[in-house]
Structure 1
């Protein structure tokens, strides 16, 4: 209940009901009563982020006026009143789909957000209208999360099992999903045929668009340091993890197995050969509307699985912000028999090299 408190050692935690993102959303204010009755930090969940506020569209467009109003009131009446000095610890950082443009900053303060977060200076009416106009993507795995939240998640917390090359190949032959979590340049240079590339730091944000919950999941990496991927799989409900290729991709090719490659172009090569390609922009629509490469078409990377037949014909070159999402897209299309290249560095490198874009 709102206002309930409990102790953790010398700290006192207070429950703040902060609906808006969902009707049940809470925040938790932390105090050190031996020193002061003022809060020292607040865990805001999905209510308030660095540079952003939580999304409010989960209950349908007809309820956005209500949920946006609730969120506005929660922020202004429960969070901002705690004091500018208070550390603000949100549940998500940059790249999360729970906010449109979350800043790449893990910890902030209420005072800093008042100075820098543009949505905190809006009136209540302006804030509601802003929330009406937001265009956000909803990963398919959200449905699994809703089910787990209602029924309870599995209690098992398995570790990724190291797989020998023969064990790995047997799982592949039985229909396992193969995910290569290396960076785009490494994947383009060589990878296990039929694998999809979702780089390790982007796994939590993008895996849910492309992987199912039935077929076993096997991971290809550098051969070590895969625990963050394991944690991400558990957190988004992938209980079908089967293991990882011991020794990484090197063990695959050293065993004499077939290797696939992916065409990867730098921006100068693309500029010289621009008329040879059909261009596909897989960034968020809001990013595309700011600027894009002339002549390109657009499909958000997360929408590609249901729109394979809609990709441009011809010699396809895919670009995104920096080359990571475009390599997901190119690897997905490669698995469907579509020959596609990725642009290393994406439109960011294109602009930094001085090549033109179309604004708007």
Structure 2
């Protein structure tokens, strides 16, 4: 028996390759599936099953493509309904894989069809659970993503409480836990950086598995502090339920080198968004007018999903050399399948063609402190709510303007006002300034973000409620 976790940091997501006696099961595969086919081929094995722990909201799974390529059976937990061929398992149903067994434990709560897959080894011993978003290390899945008209998030949280206590906690302490996500995922609140653990440790340390916890206490604690889900979550879940364009076609359409004139014509005629994925420093120095920055070296895919509201938005890319295919791939992982090509030769080719470029005004933290002494300036802090609450600049000219919700709050700022924008280190503030600048706002980026601002004599404060604009 072989188990391999294939972890993708950008999504904080774990897919799993399980092999026994030449038969393979893939759990929660990524959108690009050739890697699994190649791995099975190299090991002279056959992919027999594709197990999906639930309809994922934070990424588009590769289950549909992988089934078409291999003929493997897609397996969901009870109550799942799909628009493509899939096997909907019964609770406690067992699937033979070589010398091992994968048992389906229906664990609703995160979603109604959520399932945990119990791996029983060659000797009949419970070996591991692939817990999806039901159980994380340090947390459990948020129960607010599958609310229907006749169900509330409290109802789903109650189901999750029962699932954990009736299906997972009775298992032996030495059972290995392989979750779908680690720290950085928006599918939970307090996920561990670890990506593999054991159940006994979780029983001792995970707040949601406290032995003396009542259902009412669980519901209250698991719902406390949950922020609204990113806008793309529901759209990705629908793609995972309904199906999607095959990845190879998406990559072929997007991996097209365009000369500067052709790039500009497509941008104008197709209403394409120019997405620049270089570093923030490169973008600040020179970029195509009205382009948006989301650097591929940061939390690229989740930020794209949070900020670009239309999955069908035509996109043109400005990328570092050699990162073209990777960028198209990472966009497709969160459902953005309409990339139309990339700028051949990058920003230098654009300049050589005589095209206009723009820059971002950027000043140091100390220069901000100096300007704040001589005149009243307006400062936007675009960090997350928890970051802002822990510490921020003090003053009625300091406003919390979280990047996550910039599209919802655009009307709360004044187009006639100049704003100085900072985040923690500089990545998110350049994203924010690029969006605001493209929409006609006068913005200045603070290089180095709050880490640099902490070293100045600007007044700072501990927790207060964030100001509203």
Q: Does 1:202 find its partner at 2:299?
A: yes
**1:7–1:66 Cα change, 3 Å:** same
In the alignment, structure 2 segments of 5+ residues that lack a partner are: 1-89, 464-469
Q: Which stretch shifts more, 60-69 or 24-33?
A: 60-69
Residues 32-64 of structure 1: CA distance to partner in whole angstroms, max 9, x if unpaired?
Answer: 324x6121x322211222332211113179722
Shift of residue 26, structure 1, vs aligned partner: 1.0
In structure 1, distance between residues paired with 2:451 and 2:169: 35
Q: Which residue of 2 aligns with 1:100?
A: 189
Residues 256-306 of structure 1: CA distance to partner in whole angstroms, max 9, x if unpaired?
Answer: 322211123343333333345311122232332232221321232132123
Of 219, 223, 248 in structure 2, the residue corresponding to residue 128 of structure 1 is: 219
**1:297–1:172 Cα change, 3 Å:** same
Residues 63-114 of structure 1: CA distance to partner in whole angstroms, max 9, x if unpaired?
Answer: 2222112222323333344344343332233332212233333334334434
Q: Does 1:166 find its partner at 2:261?
A: yes
Q: SS state of the match for residue 299, structure 2?
A: helix
Q: SS state of the match for residue 88, structure 1?
A: strand
1:267-306 aligned at under 5 Å gives the runs 267-275=365-373, 277-295=377-395, 296-306=398-408
Shift of residue 20, structure 1, vs aligned partner: 0.7
Q: Which residue of 1 aligns with 2:134?
A: 47
Of 253, 261, 265 in structure 1, the residue corresponding to residue 359 of structure 2 is: 261
Shift of residue 188, structure 1, vs aligned partner: 1.4
Shift of residue 349, structure 1, vs aligned partner: 4.2
Q: Which residue of 1 aligns with 2:418?
A: 315
Q: Between Structure 1 and Structure 2, whose CA radius of gyration is higher?
A: 2
Q: Does 1:72 find its partner at 2:158?
A: no
In structure 1, distance between residues paired with 2:200 and 2:367: 46
Give the total of aligned pairs: 358
In structure 2, distance between residues paired with 1:264 and 1:9: 60
In structure 2, distance between residues paired with 1:179 and 1:97: 23
Of 403, 410, 432 in structure 2, the residue corresponding to residue 329 of structure 1 is: 432
Q: Does 1:12 find its partner at 2:101?
A: yes
TM-score by length of 2: 0.69
Q: CA RMSD in A?
A: 2.7
Of 227, 237, 245 in structure 2, the residue corresponding to residue 154 of structure 1 is: 245
Of 30, 53, 57 in structure 1, the residue corresponding to residue 144 of structure 2 is: 57
| Partners of 1:185 and 1:264 within 8 A in 2 | no
1:195-274 aligned at under 5 Å gives the runs 195-200=291-296, 201-211=298-308, 212-274=310-372
Q: SS state of the match for residue 258, structure 1?
A: coil
Shift of residue 176, structure 1, vs aligned partner: 0.8
Shift of residue 23, structure 1, vs aligned partner: 1.0
In structure 1, distance between residues paired with 2:111 and 2:218: 17
4+ runs of 1 displaced by more than 4 Å?
352-356
Shift of residue 130, structure 1, vs aligned partner: 1.8
Q: Which stretch shifts more, 315-324 or 327-336?
A: 315-324
| Structure with the larger helix share | 1
In structure 2, distance between residues paired with 1:111 and 1:246: 53
